[in-house]
Amino acid sequence: MKMSFDFQSRENLSLFTDFYELTMCASYFDNGKFEPATFDLFIRRLPPNRSYFLFAGLEQVLLYLESVHFTGEHIEYLRKQGFAEDFLGYLRDFKFTGDVWAVPEGTVCFPNEPLIRVTAPIIEAQLVETFLLNTVNLQTMMASKASRVVQAAKGKTVIEFGLRREQGIDAGMKVARSSFIAGCQGTSNVLADMAYGIPVFGTMAHSFIMSYKREIDAFRAFTKTFPTKSTLLIDTYDDMAGAEKAAVVAKELERKGFRLGGVRLDSGNLAEISKKVRALLDAKGLDYVPIFASGDLDEYKITELLDEGAKIDAFGVGTKMGTSVDYPYTDVIYKLCETSDGDGSFSPIMKLSENKLTLPGRKQVYRFTDNQGLYFKDVIALDSEPAMGGDPMLKKVMANGKICCELPALNEIRAAASKNLASLPQNYRKLVDAPQYPVTLTPTLNELIAQLKKKITEEEILNGIN
Amino acid sequence: MKMSFDFQSRENLSLFTDFYELTMCASYFDNGKFEPATFDLFIRRLPPNRSYFLFAGLEQVLLYLESVHFTGEHIEYLRKQGFAEDFLGYLRDFKFTGDVWAVPEGTVCFPNEPLIRVTAPIIEAQLVETFLLNTVNLQTMMASKASRVVQAAKGKTVIEFGLRREQGIDAGMKVARSSFIAGCQGTSNVLADMAYGIPVFGTMAHSFIMSYKREIDAFRAFTKTFPTKSTLLIDTYDDMAGAEKAAVVAKELERKGFRLGGVRLDSGNLAEISKKVRALLDAKGLDYVPIFASGDLDEYKITELLDEGAKIDAFGVGTKMGTSVDYPYTDVIYKLCETSDGDGSFSPIMKLSENKLTLPGRKQVYRFTDNQGLYFKDVIALDSEPAMGGDPMLKKVMANGKICCELPALNEIRAAASKNLASLPQNYRKLVDAPQYPVTLTPTLNELIAQLKKKITEEEILNGIN
């Protein structure tokens, strides 16, 4: 049931790529470079006010890698772009045949930690770069943002409501998925339920109210259709007048043996209005009617509302979460860290551009947990170093181009994320001014970096012209 | 050629919607509401530092409206959600049969101006809301942002390079489309060329350089494959050392009768480095080799670079443009403005929520142009008012559910956008602190608003309980 609604059309996405991936691969091909290489996918830095990432998007990455190929139509298009026939012949039979190691979806992670490690013939590893970055960027950014909103709500329900202003169709689907992983209870996006089985919520908009001569007529019409699950939107004209009318209709429902499902506020001073509406409902014996709030919410606004004692039972959080408004991307990159000379041995590789240094060699990340099960540090090591205690974070998920792990169900990923977030000490989860979680490099890795810096400086900068 | 790569799968998008659209429609159906109604799609306000919008996304909206329907699988899913059989029967035969008026893609527009006006049986008009908002939001936001970047570049080439960090697959496609409309010369996204015919650019990444033992070997390998169109990335280890090596390779190419296509800088102080690289290349008789720059660019950074006299010939602009980073959404909304009583007459409708007032009635926008062809004011009028001079902006684009206008080719939309932007006086296009372009309402529309405010206050707030 999953893939057909996922907008990850299996045959089309091979060209969903930056053109330079193809020109580089054409030149690798032309120069006979078919040796394996290793690329790390990682995030360079945390956005301001973020203290961790929640990794998501691996399932889509693996399904893509297992299926990416070029159709006759693609080849025809590339021929017109001037690519050589022998390279087109290679692409016609292209399959991804590499090995992939990755941290599981729902993992709490930090800058510079390899999240996905791809070892494959360099043409294959290069060609898949753009899709991997695009997918991990979107879902990891969104899961990270949503986890902050869920945390701010302190156990109250959060529903993802941003579909109309999320950045396109795929974003609409993946925001629902990744915010559910992060702890949201559901989404407004119907197709996300159909595709991923995410609980779907929603009742009425202002237009429904306005389509009736009187607000109370709209309330009556809607509860007639949905007597057991109506949430009435009460701010179309005036919150308190709307609440009065909702109370009348709730009492009418009671006489028919039903209960009003809730009222929703979508504008104005939500803390103040929610208290007045709560008082009004309680005074009429409607203390069972929950108050649902929406409208420009994010983790900061929710914190503020709860601090002010807002009487809100559930939050519908839209645009600001669904676009990760304060930082609508992650600094995710995909960097070559080792090449092979074709004799089976690998050489570690490093980039030295200003402020853009990368970590050389094939690596593993070890996470250390205290005796209460709380994370206290991560160490990035060369994969060749002996295990050092701590849990190795990267697991093998693909062997020779085939998925070699169980793809967990979405609910399992969500449960793992919840457990992982709870294992990150509260201090590191603060919504503002959280301290930096310690991530260090092993002495061996530091030594390799120093050696490569020296080598590059000598060979490329001082003496690399001829 | 267009649709199959557009991720706008014709059969799947009917459920790409907020759940409340379906519950409202179920209740409209249950209460026998089939009369036509009119909805306006418009943007409530400008983001900080923006002074206009560039409208985009209409083609996708119209193709969606012409094709939206529910499959057996959708109906089966909705049955499990508890929708009534008679409503499901209605959905099984659902087609959009309404009329749509809209401003053309590439139109410069302002807050509160109706951009798309939908008149249809209320169930149909309601059901399509989410898709319309999602589509116009993405493309209009991106075209507006990209037009600022193009303006900042003052005639120098801008290529859209953001695919890897745009928010998902659909965003990757639509950012390429809308930034091309806005005046970018091309994209890095290969599939966007295949789908929309947008010129595609790109040569090499750092990984290509790093995969060779020496940088100069990488340059030689690449120019061997692409002797006539190589742009060499020179900052992997050190810009100036990279430039020296690029010059060596350029001279080798000259001896073979070829010319180096360019060099690219991607990090560091681009103004300073570009001047040094230009001087180095010029000193070696390579004044024909253009300098291409990328890395964290946006309209502000490009302005700064050009003000500092950077010697840059073309800009590759990625993440910050491709996510509209400073304001990653528009405040686009879709609001009921009139309903019908079934006797052929329509009643204007208005919402009164705090700070969220809407404009009642079916409307037209008139744009007034001075004798130099420059825009000087817009007036929003009731459609029923006599024409008042000025150009009516909304045109009929769909009649009875069928597209009734020519869908312009992307190049035509781009040319229109360019002409329209040039018609907006420079003052209103300033990148910061632009004054507000005058948009006023007619006296008749103002009078209607006052009447409705009074009516709503009396009937809903003071006396609306029973």
Residue-wise pLDDT for A379-414, tens only, equals 999 999 998 899 999 999 999 999 999 999 999 999
**Domains of chain B, with CATH numbers?**
34-62+97-140+330-462 (3.20.140.10), 202-294 (3.20.20.70)
Instruction: Give the chain A residue whose CA is nearest to the CA of B135.
Output: A168
Q: How does pLDDT run across B69-91, given as a tens digit for each residue? A: 999 999 999 999 999 999 999 99
Q: How many CB pairs under 8 A join A and B?
A: 373
Instruction: Give the chain B residue whose CA is nearest to the CA of A131.
Output: B164
Chain centre to alpha carbon of residue B91: 31
Q: CA–CA distance from A397 to each of A64, A402, A414 (Å)?
A: 13, 8, 19
Residue with tokens 């009139």: B338
The structure tokens listed for B50 are: 């923006």
Rounded distance, CA A425 to CA A420, Å? Answer: 10
Judged by CB atoms closer than 8 Å, whether chains meet at B19 and A319 is answered as no
The structure tokens listed for B71 are: 């499959």
Would you say residue B93 has pLDDT above 90? yes
ipTM over 0.90: yes
Confidence category of residue A144, pLDDT binned at 50, 70, 90: very high
Judged by CB atoms closer than 8 Å, whether chains meet at B191 and A224 is answered as no
What is the DSSP pairing of strand B395-399 with strand B375-382?
Answer: unpaired
What is the rounded average pLDDT of the residues B355-376? Answer: 93
Which of B4, B5, B6, B19 should be substituted to probe chain A, the one whose Cβ sees the most A Cβ atoms within 10 Å? Answer: B19
Q: How does pLDDT run across B18-46, given as a tens digit for each residue? A: 999 999 999 999 999 999 999 999 999 99
Q: Using CB atoms, which residue from B170, B224, B236 is nearest to A171?
A: B170
Would you say residue A461 has pLDDT above 90? no
Residues of chain B contacting residue A19, judged by C-beta atoms under 8 Å apart = 188-190, 200-202
Residues of chain A contacting residue B245, judged by C-beta atoms under 8 Å apart = 464-465
Judged by CB atoms closer than 8 Å, whether chains meet at B210 and A134 is answered as no
Which of B353, B355, B458, B465 should be substituted to probe chain A, the one whose Cβ sees the most A Cβ atoms within 10 Å? Answer: B353
What are the helix and strand counts (H, E) for chain B? 16, 19
What is the DSSP pairing of strand A291-294 with strand A262-265?
Answer: parallel
What is the rounded average pLDDT of the residues A160-189? Answer: 97
Which of B22, B24, B126, B240 should be substituted to probe chain A, the one whose Cβ sees the most A Cβ atoms within 10 Å? Answer: B24
pLDDT at position A3, please? 39
What is the C-alpha R_g of chain A? 26
Confidence category of residue B388, pLDDT binned at 50, 70, 90: confident
Instruction: Give the chain A residue whose CA is nearest to the CA of B202.
Output: A20
Residues of chain B contacting residue A464, judged by C-beta atoms under 8 Å apart = 214-216, 237, 241, 245
Give Cβ neighbours of residue B114 (< 8 Å, ≥ 6 apart).
B40, B41, B42, B101, B359, B363, B365, B380, B394
Would you say residue B163 has pLDDT above 50? yes
Find, among B383, B365, B375, B363, the residue nearest to B420 by Cα: B375
Which of A8, A14, A16 should be substituted to probe chain B, the one whose Cβ sees the most B Cβ atoms within 10 Å? Answer: A16
Q: What are phi and psi of B203, to 5 degrees?
A: -130, -65
Confidence category of residue B5, pLDDT binned at 50, 70, 90: very low
What single string gives the DSSP state of each residue in B225-270? H-TTS-EEE--SS-HHHHHHHHHHHHHHHHHTT----EEEE-SS-H
pLDDT at position A1, please? 30
Residues of chain A contacting residue B20, judged by C-beta atoms under 8 Å apart = 188, 202-205
DSSP, collapsed to helix, strand or coil, labels residue A441 as strand
Residues of chain B contacting residue A352, judged by C-beta atoms under 8 Å apart = 236-238
Residues of chain A contacting residue B221, judged by C-beta atoms under 8 Å apart = 27, 30-31, 33
Where is pLDDT greater, at A357 or B127?
A: B127
pTM of the model: 0.96
Judged by CB atoms closer than 8 Å, whether chains meet at A226 and B27 is answered as yes
Percent with pLDDT over 70 in chain B: 96
Residues of chain B contacting residue A130, judged by C-beta atoms under 8 Å apart = 163-164
pLDDT at position A12, please? 75
Judged by CB atoms closer than 8 Å, whether chains meet at B206 and A335 is answered as yes
Would you say residue B286 has pLDDT above 50? yes
Judged by CB atoms closer than 8 Å, whether chains meet at B172 and A16 is answered as yes
Q: How does pLDDT run across A338-372, given as a tens digit for each residue? A: 999 778 889 999 887 666 778 999 999 999 999 99
Buried (b) or exposed (e) across A209-230, using 16+ Cβ within 10 A? bbbbebbbebbbbbbebbbebb
Residues of chain A contacting residue B12, judged by C-beta atoms under 8 Å apart = 4-5, 191
Helix (H) or strand (E) holding A96: none
What is the rounded average pLDDT of the residues B259-279? Answer: 97
Rounded to the nearest 5 percent, the helix, strand and coil shares of chain A are 40, 20, 40
Residues of chain A contacting residue B37, judged by C-beta atoms under 8 Å apart = 211
Confidence category of residue A275, pLDDT binned at 50, 70, 90: very high
